[in-house]
Chains A and B, each alone.
Chain A
Amino acid sequence: MSDHHNTDDSGPAARVKALEALLTEKGLLDPAAIDAIVDTYETRVGPRNGARVVAKAWTDPAYRKRLLADATSAVAELGFAGPQGGHLVAIENTDRIHNLVVCTLCSCYPWPVLGLPPVWYKSFAYRSRAVSDPRGVLEDFGLELPSNVEIRVWDSSAEIRYLVIPQRPKGTSKMSEDELAAIVTRDSMVGVAKVEAPRA
């Protein structure tokens, strides 16, 4: 219903072409600028950035401390910054607290560390229920938390963008920072999944 994807040339694709042509004819738009933005979000900015942040926080206690105190600066240390990342805040999952991030009013998301949001994050089901039925939403993702775990839902209603620091899984003490970064998933950094240790 809502997040169908039109690939034909009759609907939004034609409207995009019309707007692009109109602005180009007026001399207001360089089509190369469009290509550059598309390329940035398809290849350079994405959840691998956030995974690097999390892996460093897991292995470097001083960095973890800086990240929790001022995520915008700590993330910039690794070279990640940009739109929708001016005011980053890191929130840490523990045995007792599980954090979940949503934007009920639109789909605000920490682009510099996670890239553009996936369809499920932008879906009406997630935007509506994450605040009123977070446990049910987590079950949709196959995540069942013990009843004594407190769930904290962060509704990104202002300019603050949240990055969840998931718990480091047991059995990963010998893994390097690079190896750890490889197992950190996008979903775990939004709070709808846990990070799993690789199977031995």
Chain B
Amino acid sequence: MNGVHDMGGMDGFGKVVREEHEPVFHAEWEGRAFALASLTWRLAQANGDMFRHAIERIPPTRYLASSYFERWLAGAETLVIERGIATREELIAKQGAAIDPYPIADAVPARGPSPVKEKKASSPRFAKGDRVRARNINPAGHTRLPRYARGKVGVVVRDWGVFVFPDTNAHHAGTKPQHCYSVSFDARELWGKPASSRERLYIDLWEDYLEPIASKSKPRNTKGKKAHRTNRY
């Protein structure tokens, strides 16, 4: 989804401010929210993609007004409700009238892709040195293809192996295992001529995000590896 979470290249957030001697958690509730969210993943039998998507669905004004651990908390609350562990009413009753339930994402998940038939990953479509274009896709659901890379041309620098596909995995639509590549982009390709020729971006992109520039790439005879599961913690 083209949400406010997809921040690469946005202006207006100001300078990066570093805190000296920063604690891991700034308040007790932050540590507990982090741990609760981690445990909720397991309870909800969710995966990292579902959790990230729950956070992305926090309404944009609220997302921007929330700290990191508030967003994690909202993600946990959303998973609890959407996975049927508790109802929204139960949670709000427990919170009491003083608490604004607004950050809990809409209980109807954003429309994702249709379920795919599970099959083994095929051999890699791309290899090191191949020029590729990141597809111009704008899915309503979860994706890990940042907006700033869409439609841009890069070069495959590494094949990381086979990983489950976030765009389907976040929506219970199958794991769709496929190769994920490190793709290198010249900063000028992404940001135009004023950008430095001494800067490159490396973005990890799944095969379904990429299309060949020339038709030189042919499927190669590499054994399909077992898909890595996304981290469930």
Contacts and interface: CB of A to CB of B under 8 A. Distances in A.
Interface of A: 1-7, 10-23, 26, 28-29, 33-38, 41-42, 46, 82-84, 86-87, 104-107, 115-116, 118-120, 122-129, 131-132, 134-135, 137, 140-141, 147-160, 187
B55 interface: yes
A34 B8 contact: no
B6 A104 contact: yes
Closest 3 A/B residue pairs (Cβ): A83-B233, A104-B8, A158-B204
Find the residue from B5, B6, B28, B33 having the highest chain A CB count within 10 A: B33
B108 interface: no
A2 B31 contact: no
B156 to A, nearest CB: 14
Given A2-B66, A34-B32, A125 B15 contact: yes
A132 B191 contact: yes
Interface in B54-81: 55, 64-70, 73, 76-77, 80
B213 interface: no
Contacts, number: 246
18 contacts: A4-B67, A14-B98, A15-B73, A18-B95, A23-B39, A29-B39, A37-B38, A38-B25, A104-B6, A104-B148, A120-B17, A120-B18, A124-B7, A124-B13, A131-B190, A147-B198, A157-B203, A158-B206
Contacts of B52: 105-106
B201 A131 contact: yes
A150 B199 contact: yes
Interface residues on B, range: 35 or more
Given A19-B77, A37-B35, A151 B230 contact: no
A129 B231 contact: no
Interface of B: 5-19, 22, 24-36, 38-40, 43, 48, 52, 55, 64-70, 73, 76-77, 80, 85-86, 90-91, 94-96, 98-99, 144-146, 148, 160, 163, 166, 180, 182, 190-191, 195-196, 198-206, 228, 230-231, 233
A12 B33 contact: yes
B68 A107 contact: yes
A13 B204 CA distance: 36
A128 B160 CA distance: 25
B188 to A, nearest CB: 12
Contacts of A23: 36, 39-40, 43, 80, 85-86
A125 B8 contact: no
B204 A140 contact: no
